[in-house]
Amino acid sequence: MGNSILQVTNLQKEYIGEITYKALNGIDFQLGENEFVAVMGPSGSGKTTFLNSVSTIDRPTIGEILINGRNPYSLDDEELAKFRRSELGFVFQDFNLVHTLTVKENILLPLTLDSLPADKMQQRLQHVSQFLGIEELLSKRIYEISGGQKQRVAIARAVIHEPSLLLADEPTGNLDSKAVNDVMNLFSSIHTELKTSILMVTHDPYVASFANRIIFIKDGKLYNEIHRGHNRKQFYQEIMDTLAFLGGGQHEL
């Protein structure tokens, strides 16, 4: 696979309450440089917990996560915040944009936090806004743009600091079918042209078919993985077949 951007070893996560619930049960996983991997599984399978553990939102109970050879959970709060801003990009279903800011201000937020010089910020803004086709939106407020445009802005904010790993949680969940297609073509472009590694959780087989590889999680364990060849239609059918084996209809996954 070449160099690993992400290496996960024996990942386990328990939630302790009246009943102890094991959300992840010993997952081993590697994500290579410039690889695009989707994570699928039934509701409650542990796929979001897996992404949250990798994204440093949710500390694992047992196991090790290395991103570019570093364990983010060994860092103090200040180091971790800097690590997130330099290494990770985040794209969420509900966009997580700041409505009181303009599109431009939202996109520049990660660079502002790192006090990047103004000329470098402008250079990166110009590049990413042209790449994502949103130059004409830069002066608008968030409430003035559509859902598909909001997700483009969220993606711009996620990649402007050139992260080595882009993490996406149901990035098309709030979009109509045309916007879904547009956004997923953008993810493909980010992967191929910006050489960014992507880890994406989705329940949608069509969305997942844009990835190079899909891992399926069931009951907190790695259940299966499939790889895309040259035929995306065939890959889509493999996804559907695997989901059928996992059990449940598409609306439950």
- Confidence check: pLDDT of 217 > 60: yes
Q: Is the Cβ–Cβ distance between 8 and 56 less than 8 Å?
A: no
Q: Show the CA angle centred on residue 138, arms to residues 135 and 139, nearest 5°.
A: 135
Q: Is the Cβ–Cβ distance between 102 and 149 less than 8 Å?
A: no
Taking the C-alpha atoms of residue 82 and residue 104, their distance in angstroms, rounded to an integer, is 22
- Confidence check: pLDDT of 1 > 70: no
pLDDT at 114: 81
Q: Show the CA angle centred on residue 22, arms to residues 76 and 53, nearest 5°.
A: 30
What does the block give as tokens for 236?
């889509």
Entry pTM = 0.91
- Confidence check: pLDDT of 100 > 60: yes
Residue in the block written with tokens 């960014």 = 196
pLDDT at 252: 40
Report which DSSP code applies to 133: T
For the residues 8-17, what does the mean pLDDT come to? Answer: 93
Taking the C-alpha atoms of residue 58 and residue 60, their distance in angstroms, rounded to an integer, is 6
Cα maximum dimension of the chain: 55
pLDDT at 248: 52
- Confidence check: pLDDT of 116 > 50: yes
Q: Is the Cβ–Cβ distance between 31 and 38 less than 8 Å?
A: no
What does the block give as tokens for 65?
């996560």
For the residues 218-244, what does the mean pLDDT come to? Answer: 93
Higher per-residue pLDDT: 251 or 92: 92
Q: Dump pLDDT digits (tens) for 172-181.
A: 988 888 999 9
What does the block give as tokens for 18?
């009246």
pLDDT at 113: 81
Q: What is the mean pLDDT of the chain?
A: 91
- Confidence check: pLDDT of 121 > 80: yes
Q: Dump pLDDT digits (tens) for 39-94.
A: 999 888 999 999 999 999 999 999 999 999 999 999 999 999 889 988 999 998 88
Distances (CA, A) of 224 to 215, 217, 227, 246: 6, 7, 11, 10
Is the Cα torsion angle 33, 38, 44, 45 positive or negative in sign?
negative
3-class state of residue 93 by DSSP: coil
Q: Is the Cβ–Cβ distance between 201 and 47 less than 8 Å?
A: yes
For the residues 139-161, what does the mean pLDDT come to? Answer: 93
Distance of CA 128 to the CA centre of its chain: 18
For the residues 217-240, what does the mean pLDDT come to? Answer: 93
Confidence grade of residue 249 (pLDDT, cut at 50, 70, 90) = very low
Confidence grade of residue 224 (pLDDT, cut at 50, 70, 90) = very high
- Confidence check: pLDDT of 251 > 50: no
Please report, for the chain, the start and end positions of each structural domain, with discontinuous segments joined by +.
Answer: 4-252
3-class state of residue 53 by DSSP: helix
Share of the chain above pLDDT 90, in %: 75
- Class of the CATH-defined domain 4-252: alpha beta
Confidence grade of residue 165 (pLDDT, cut at 50, 70, 90) = very high
